[in-house]
Amino acid sequence: MNIRKLRGLHSHDIVNPIICHQFLAIILILRPALTKLANVLWTRELQKRLDADNIPITAITIHPGFVNTFSDRWPFPHVSRWLVNLFFSTPDRGAFTSLIAAASPAVRADPQKYKGAYLQPVGELVEPSDQAKDPKLAEELWRTTENYLEGIGL
């Protein structure tokens, strides 16, 4: 292969745009799922470490639901907000699950039930997937996070 021929080429010169759009669509669909998986794994590992050190903190992963935090930045925000709110919660309602995790007497009364738990709207305890309960995967994510933070000097 002649490297000089490759100079000046851009990815759009080599890659089929249809494949790029399909790849982008897959990433946009998978990204929230992978992020949620990472959040559940990390929180469960955090809870394990808190418990091992006898620190009385309850770590909870929350899913606020689909919350409209963006329509005010669209053209015609009053119309956009009205349309989007047909399918998404308002920010006030979207905060309910966070508030339940942070301040509910039920969490305080039965912390064992909520330690490392996953809450979805509105404050419903949900059993995470088998993958999200994998302790080896959680440990690997924890180590990866520590290594990354150490690599950037934190």
Mean pLDDT by 10 residues, the chain (154 residues): 43 52 68 85 95 94 79 72 77 84 91 91 87 92 92 89
Q: Give the CATH number, domain containing residue 118.
A: 3.40.50.720
Domain assignment of residue 64, yes or no: yes
pLDDT of 12: 47
pLDDT of 19: 55
Domain assignment of residue 128, yes or no: yes
pLDDT of 36: 87
pLDDT of 22: 63
**Domain span including residue 83:** 38-151
Domain assignment of residue 73, yes or no: yes
pLDDT of 13: 46
Domain assignment of residue 107, yes or no: yes
pLDDT of 9: 43
95 three-state secondary structure:
coil
Domain assignment of residue 109, yes or no: yes
Q: At what angle do helices 135-151 and 17-52 cross, to 10 degrees?
A: 100
Count structural domains, the chain: 1
Domain assignment of residue 69, yes or no: yes
Q: Are 125 and 117 in contact (CB under 8 A)?
A: yes
Q: Nearest CA to 97 among 56, 67, 49, 63?
A: 63
Domain assignment of residue 104, yes or no: yes
The two structure tokens encoding residue 16: 């089929």
Name the pTM for this structure: 0.71
